[in-house]
Structure 1
Amino acid sequence: MRVIRVGTRKSQLARIQTDSVVAMLKTYYPGLQFEIVAMSTTGDKILDTALSKIGEKSLFTKELEQALERNERESPYDAVVFHPKHVGKTLATLPEKSVVGTSSLRRAAQLQRKFPHLEFKSIRGNLNTRLRKLDELQEFSAIILAAAGLQRLGWQSRLGQLLLPEDCMYAVGQGALGVEVRARDQQVLDLVSVLHDPETLLRCIAERAFLRHLEGGCSVPVAVHTAVRDGQLYLTGGVWSLDGSDSLRETMQTGVAVGGAQPEDGPEDDVQRAGITARNVPRAAQVAAEDLGAGLAALLLAKGAGAILHVARQLNDAR
Structure 2
Amino acid sequence: MRNKIVIGTRSSKLALWQANYIADCIKEKYPDKTVELLHITTKGDRVLEVPLAKIGGKGLFTKEIETAMLEKKIDMAVHSLKDMPTVLPAGLKLAVISKRADVGDAFVSLKYKKFSELPKGAKIGTSSLRRKAQLLHVRPDLMICDLRGNVNTRLSRLEQGQFAGIILAAAGLNRLGFSSKITEILPRKVCLPAVGQGALAIETRENDEEILSLIRFLHDTKTAQETMAERAFLNRVEGGCQVPVGVYATVTADKITIEAVIASLDGKRLLRDRVTGPVGEADLLGRDIAEKLLDKGGLAIMQEIGLLRG
TM-score computed with the length of structure 1 as normaliser: 0.85
> Is 2:302 the partner of 1:309?
yes
Give the alignment partner of residue 152 of structure 2, picking from 120, 128, 143. 128
Tell whether 2:36 aligns with 1:35. Answer: yes
CA contact (8 A) 2:123 2:163 kept: yes
Could you say what secondary structure the match of 2:7 adopts?
strand
Which amino acid in 1 is paired with 2:175?
A: R
Task: Look up the SS of the partner of 1:157 in the other structure.
Answer: helix
Q: Which runs of 5+ in 1 are unaligned?
A: 257-284
Counterpart secondary structure, 1:194 = helix
Contact residue 234 and residue 254 of structure 1 kept, 8 A: yes
Q: How many residues align?
A: 283
2:202 corresponding residue in structure 1 = 179
Deviation at 1:194, TM superposition (A): 0.9
Partner of 1:72: 99
* Contact 2:115–2:186 (Cα < 8 Å) also in 1: no
Q: Counterparts of 1:108-147 in structure 2 under 5 Å?
A: 108-136=132-160, 138-147=161-170
- Verify the 8 A CA contact 1:51 1:103 in the aligned structure 2: yes
User: Given the alignment of the two structures, is residue 242 of structure 1 paired with residue 265 of structure 2, yes or no?
Assistant: yes
Deviation sequence 1:192-212 (CA, Å, 0-9, x none): 211111110101111001100
State how 1:288-299 maps to structure 2 within 5 Å: 288-299=281-292
Query: In 1, distance between residues paired with 2:174 and 2:260?
Result: 25
Instruction: Give the distance between the partners of 2:170 and 2:42, measured in 1 at CA.
Output: 22
Distance 1:13 1:219, change over 3 A: closer
Q: Is the 8 A contact 1:53 1:219 kept in 2?
A: no
The alignment-based identity, stated in percent, is 42
What corresponds to 1:16 in structure 2? 17
After TM superposition, list the pairs within 5 Å mapping 1:77-88 onto structure 2: 77-82=104-109, 84=110, 86=111, 88=112
Tell me the C-alpha RMSD between the 2 structures.
1.4
Paired with 1:68 and 1:309, the residues of 2 have a C-alpha distance of 30
1:137-176 paired onto structure 2 within 5 Å: 138-176=161-199
Going from structure 1 to structure 2, the CA distance change for 1:61 and 1:238 (only over 3 Å counts) comes to same
- Structure-2 separation of matches of 1:314 and 1:141: 32
- DSSP 3-state at the match of 2:130: helix
Stretches of structure 2 that go unaligned for 5 or more consecutive residues are 67-78, 80-93
Residue of structure 2 equivalent to 1:216: 239
Q: Tell me, in whole angstroms, the C-alpha distance in 2 between the residues paired with 1:114 and 1:4.
A: 47
Question: Where does 1:247-258 land on structure 2 (aligned, <5 Å)?
Answer: 247-256=270-279
TM-score, normalisation: structure 2: 0.88
